[in-house]
Structure 1
Amino acid sequence: MNQSMAVLLATTLILVATFFATSFINNRQKKKVVGNASEDWDVGGRSLPLYVVIGTQFATAMGGGILVGQVGNGYQNGYSVFLYGILCQLAFIILMFIADWLRDNNFATIPEILQHFSGPNKTVKILAGILTIIVPFGWICGQLSAFGKLYSTLTGFSPTILTITLAVASLFFVMPSGLKTVAWTDFIFGILMVIFASAVCFHTLSLAGGMENVLANVPPEIVQFPSSIFSVGLYTSVLWVFSLVPGGLTNQMYYQRIFACKELKEVKKSLWITALVCIIAYFWAVTVGLSVRSINPGLGADREMATGWLLTQLPTWLVAIFSGLIIAAILSTVSSGVQSIVVNLNRDIYRTLHPDCDSSKVLKISKFLSVIVIATAVVLSLAFPSVIKMIVTSYSFSAAGLLCPIFVSYAFRNKNFITKNAILAGMIVGIIACMVSMLFNTSIPYVIWGIIPSGISMVVVSKIEQKEDEINRIAK
């Protein structure tokens, strides 16, 4: 059996087996519990057990960024992968401090959190919905791009055809019940990722002659601790700090898993366990990346093809296993991203404008929107194939527009200080400032220019409105 046939067979078996396993689990659950179809789609019926929440958080957070971007980062910059990974996982740790409050209020989306502070307001909810879409959409485009690159190397097929194929496949895991099917699919994919990644890592280390030999054959400046943590340079390190952490804190896919957890007491546990498991995945990325550099130091600027080159060195049976890792990692993130975006489009935008829409129509609209979202993502991923840049950019815009409105409002939640117009100002000023700084190509990371004015504008507008209220009271 040649490599292409082995890859296609392994991929088909994984997809079919996962689809039927997920369908079987969901059908059994439907017999036990009669739930609301809309709640199942949006927040998994708020009934997901701890192990599924951890599995879906892990599988969603990992993906093409790990397989392509971070292996390439490990190849070029060594231990700086750990900086990227730690910053990404800080979001889970910070969310632990507000997790109980989030779950107590039965939110389903980030716009609902902001509306909790602003009161019923269509403008706040719709604008927040648009901004919330940015991160998952960036993720989807990045994952589709990564899949096209990797599977093109494996099969010889056109990246365009492969990208479209994955997009269609992802719909099979979103359409049945939204987050409920996506979460269980992610859990299964998460298990497969751990198994397949371990096999690939051990074999790659063996090819490189073991870790001791790897460290001896790569530039010492990228593996010296702790200086190598910042080997990507000061500017990129600062950009990561101010985009990855705030971006994670405005990533609705993480919030949805908090909302979906069955037991309130297990929400915090799910977050710190997920962070720990994800850090281990970054150890995998740096180990594989450095091993490839030890074997072939000549890739140069084409570092994102480190994974692709590795695939040409593996035996057919292991390439088939690696193909399983790719499909599990990438498809889980794509399906999660599509589901998250559709919830915003439907729940926060369409249903805000059409509040009398019945549940059966809501479900049909969700499925229709899923097709539109994935089709748009395919077009953009083919036009902008750089994986890490796409994800970091999407994080930056989301952080600029949403971080302060969420967390400044939360900080003053008991003070009756932040107003509806302050929340609107924070979103609008943050995103405009971020865009302007990008156009001027400033030396200071553009996300900082977005976050700082966003927070300042919220405080200023709130103060002004407080003064106006005070003047009006005196006048009366």
Structure 2
Amino acid sequence: MGLTFWTWTVMIVACLFFIAMSMMFRKKASISFTHYAIAGGTLPFFLILFTDIATIMGVGNFIGHSAEGYKIGFANIPFVIGEQGAKVLFALVFAGFAARFTYHTLAELMHDLILRDRVSRIFIAILTSSIMLAWVSGQAMGLGALFATFTGADPLFMIIFFSVVFIIYTTVGGIYSVVWTDLIQGALLVGLAIWFYLQVFSEIDFSFAVLQTGLADVGAAGLMEFNLSVMEVLTLFVTGTFGVLAAQMYWQRCFAAKSPKTASRAMLYSGIIAIVFTILATIGGMVVKMKNPDLDPNNAVSWLILEEMTMMAALAFFTLIFMAAISSASSLLHSASVVIVNDLIIPNMEKKPDAYYVKLTRYCVALVGIFSIGAALLSDSIIGLFSLAYSMTGGGVIPVLIVGLLWKEKRSARFEMGTRNSRVSVWGGRIGILAGAVVSLVFGILWGVLVSVVLTIAVSLVLPKDPRSTLAVETN
């Protein structure tokens, strides 16, 4: 029995296992919308740690960054440091703060503590959802390309198939099935990733000198250089950092943690692991470039596994990527659906029983999945998807968040749920969010962040801050 048989076997068994796990938690997840979204804020350290690891280490980190390493080499490192290092920054600055509250989303936090504005909440929800859609699409793209390489199956079929699995698995058990399955997946990911990179770097005898010589021999010596301007490095770093700070699933994990210490420690450790593995993925792509300079970058690592390693290594690699994709996608689908229901639907409808909101969230998973499939089929680059969503959301949402938290009405007062304590006005928030997102897309995130900060403060000083005024509309 060959690699194709065992690949299909692993995939089918894993899919059945994930769906069975989700069935076990269906009843518990249905207790209330808060339980479905954030487990009632009761999750312990080990669950938060491994769900962070499993969510962070998606297929984009293995396949996407390997492809970027194959194309641009060390020039990808600033984006890696920004994207993955932001998780460490999040742990040190925001995780403990977020874990003090039991909000469901970042948009809800900003609405309650800073803006008190329905329109701004909608803007934030749409922007933060875009990151989730991009990441889920990235998982589907990576798995589709990988499975096609391993088995010869049509990538289009595999993208749709895996997306259906994501949808079913996420719909049933809510965050409980996500985190408990991630406990298994995260542990397997760490072990398999360590083993895999030992195999990859044995190809160059664990020597950068060998890698440098090999790249020079194929005319790709430039991959060993950081051939970027200061502005390019800064742009990549800020794009990754601000994009991650706007990612709903990290805030959601903090709201789900049982204590601030639990949230900050888990994110810190998982962020360090992500930095190490993602840099290794970039360098791994460079190793493939040395061995075969004429590949499609998205297939670089797959080629290395199939052509240069044993069948056991190939199967282990597929298992690694499959685990990464399925766990990350389930978390992202769940987070996106919670955002849609919590920030786009609930504030704009009459109050309903919790059971209704849980059912509505489950329906939203299908909608997010459909959009994700479409984005996966239309995009040419996994990292391109991430970067676009990062720029738009990071440039619009995060500057307003930071200004809102630092620019207090009462400097000595602590932020408390139900109490607005920010000098950012309704119109300051609206204009800052929209202008930052648009400018980031057109001129780059550095200009977007600057414009967002300046306009948020300037408009807040000019237009009324009172949310009960004729220019501002508050909704609970």
TM-score, normalization: structure 2?
0.87
Quote the offset at 1:287 in angstroms.
4.3
| One-letter amino acid matched to 1:57 | D
Residue of structure 2 aligned with 1:429, choices 409, 431, 435: 435
Residue of structure 1 aligned with 2:98, choices 96, 102, 108: 102
Q: Structure 2, unaligned stretches of length 5 or more? A: 412-421, 468-476
State the alpha-carbon separation in 2 of the partners of residues 423 and 337 from structure 1: 26
Instruction: Identify the residue that residue 305 of structure 1 maps to in structure 2.
Output: 299
State the alpha-carbon separation in 1 of the partners of residues 111 and 197 from structure 2: 46
Residue of structure 2 aligned with 1:204, choices 169, 192, 200: 200
Instruction: Identify the residue that residue 114 of structure 1 maps to in structure 2.
Output: 110
Quote the offset at 1:75 in angstroms.
2.8
The 8 Å contact of residues 88 and 272 in structure 2, kept in 1 or not, is answered as no
Quote the offset at 1:81 in angstroms.
4.4
Matched, 1:126 2:132: no
State the alpha-carbon separation in 2 of the partners of residues 371 and 335 from structure 1: 12
Instruction: Identify the residue that residue 473 of structure 1 maps to in structure 2.
Output: none
The 8 Å contact of residues 92 and 271 in structure 1, kept in 2 or not, is answered as yes
| One-letter amino acid matched to 1:14 | A
List per-residue Cα deviations over 1:307-333 (Å, max 9, x = no partner): 131132132222222111111111122
Residue of structure 1 aligned with 2:449, choices 426, 436, 451: 451
What do you get for the CA RMSD once the two structures are aligned?
2.6
State the alpha-carbon separation in 1 of the partners of residues 360 and 30 from structure 2: 19
Quote the offset at 1:206 in angstroms.
3.5
Matched, 1:218 2:231: no
The 8 Å contact of residues 83 and 239 in structure 2, kept in 1 or not, is answered as no
Quote the offset at 1:186 in angstroms.
2.3
State the alpha-carbon separation in 1 of the partners of residues 237 and 201 from structure 2: 31
State the alpha-carbon separation in 2 of the partners of residues 456 and 75 from structure 1: 39
| One-letter amino acid matched to 2:433 | M
The 8 Å contact of residues 131 and 390 in structure 2, kept in 1 or not, is answered as yes
Instruction: Identify the residue that residue 258 of structure 1 maps to in structure 2.
Output: 254
Quote the offset at 1:262 in angstroms.
1.6
Matched, 1:351 2:321: no
| One-letter amino acid matched to 1:109 | T
Instruction: Identify the residue that residue 46 of structure 1 maps to in structure 2.
Output: 41
Instruction: Identify the residue that residue 423 of structure 2 maps to in structure 1.
Output: 417
Q: 1:245 to 1:119 in 2, by over 3 A?
A: closer
Residue of structure 2 aligned with 1:387, choices 369, 382, 385: 382
Quote the offset at 1:21 in angstroms.
4.8
Instruction: Identify the residue that residue 244 of structure 2 maps to in structure 1.
Output: 248
Matched, 1:14 2:14: yes
| Residue pairs, 1:400-415, within 5 angstroms | 400-413=395-408, 414-415=410-411
State the alpha-carbon separation in 2 of the partners of residues 387 and 261 from structure 1: 30
State the alpha-carbon separation in 1 of the partners of residues 73 and 465 from structure 2: 54
| One-letter amino acid matched to 1:94 | L
The 8 Å contact of residues 253 and 336 in structure 1, kept in 2 or not, is answered as yes
| One-letter amino acid matched to 1:11 | M
Quote the offset at 1:233 in angstroms.
5.7
Q: 1:88 to 1:468 in 2, by over 3 A?
A: closer
Quote the offset at 1:264 in angstroms.
2.6
The 8 Å contact of residues 22 and 170 in structure 2, kept in 1 or not, is answered as no
TM-score, normalization: structure 1?
0.87
What count of residue pairs does the alignment treat as equivalent? 450
**Identical-pair percentage:** 22
| Residue pairs, 1:282-293, within 5 angstroms | 282-293=278-289
State the alpha-carbon separation in 2 of the partners of residues 387 and 232 from structure 1: 21
State the alpha-carbon separation in 2 of the partners of residues 81 and 127 from structure 1: 30
Matched, 1:89 2:79: no
Quote the offset at 1:133 in angstroms.
0.8
| One-letter amino acid matched to 1:247 | G
State the alpha-carbon separation in 2 of the partners of residues 186 and 468 from structure 1: 44
The 8 Å contact of residues 30 and 358 in structure 2, kept in 1 or not, is answered as no
Quote the offset at 1:218 in angstroms.
2.6
The 8 Å contact of residues 69 and 282 in structure 2, kept in 1 or not, is answered as yes
Matched, 1:195 2:191: yes
State the alpha-carbon separation in 1 of the partners of residues 330 and 124 from structure 2: 22
Residue of structure 1 aligned with 2:150, choices 148, 154, 161: 154
State the alpha-carbon separation in 2 of the partners of residues 262 and 374 from structure 1: 30
The 8 Å contact of residues 82 and 238 in structure 2, kept in 1 or not, is answered as no
Query: Secondary structure of the residue that 2:102 maps to in structure 1?
Result: coil
| One-letter amino acid matched to 1:152 | A
Instruction: Identify the residue that residue 415 of structure 2 maps to in structure 1.
Output: none
Instruction: Identify the residue that residue 165 of structure 2 maps to in structure 1.
Output: 169
State the alpha-carbon separation in 2 of the partners of residues 355 and 449 from structure 1: 40
Instruction: Identify the residue that residue 2 of structure 1 maps to in structure 2.
Output: 2
| One-letter amino acid matched to 1:433 | V
The 8 Å contact of residues 77 and 232 in structure 1, kept in 2 or not, is answered as no
The 8 Å contact of residues 65 and 146 in structure 1, kept in 2 or not, is answered as yes
Quote the offset at 1:459 in angstroms.
0.8
The 8 Å contact of residues 58 and 139 in structure 2, kept in 1 or not, is answered as yes
When structure 1 is superposed on structure 2, of 339-348 and 202-211 the one drifting more is 202-211
Instruction: Identify the residue that residue 365 of structure 1 maps to in structure 2.
Output: 360
The 8 Å contact of residues 81 and 282 in structure 1, kept in 2 or not, is answered as no
Q: Which runs of 4+ in 1 moved over 6 A?
A: 466-469
| One-letter amino acid matched to 2:458 | V
Quote the offset at 1:199 in angstroms.
3.0
The 8 Å contact of residues 11 and 323 in structure 1, kept in 2 or not, is answered as no
Residue of structure 1 aligned with 2:54, choices 32, 54, 59: 59
The 8 Å contact of residues 85 and 272 in structure 2, kept in 1 or not, is answered as no
State the alpha-carbon separation in 1 of the partners of residues 206 and 435 from structure 2: 52
Quote the offset at 1:364 in angstroms.
1.4
Instruction: Identify the residue that residue 474 of structure 1 maps to in structure 2.
Output: none
The 8 Å contact of residues 43 and 259 in structure 1, kept in 2 or not, is answered as yes
The 8 Å contact of residues 212 and 221 in structure 2, kept in 1 or not, is answered as no
When structure 1 is superposed on structure 2, of 61-70 and 251-260 the one drifting more is 61-70
State the alpha-carbon separation in 2 of the partners of residues 216 and 48 from structure 1: 49
| One-letter amino acid matched to 2:291 | I
Quote the offset at 1:243 in angstroms.
1.0
Query: Secondary structure of the residue that 1:78 maps to in structure 2?
Result: helix
Matched, 1:145 2:141: yes
| One-letter amino acid matched to 1:430 | G
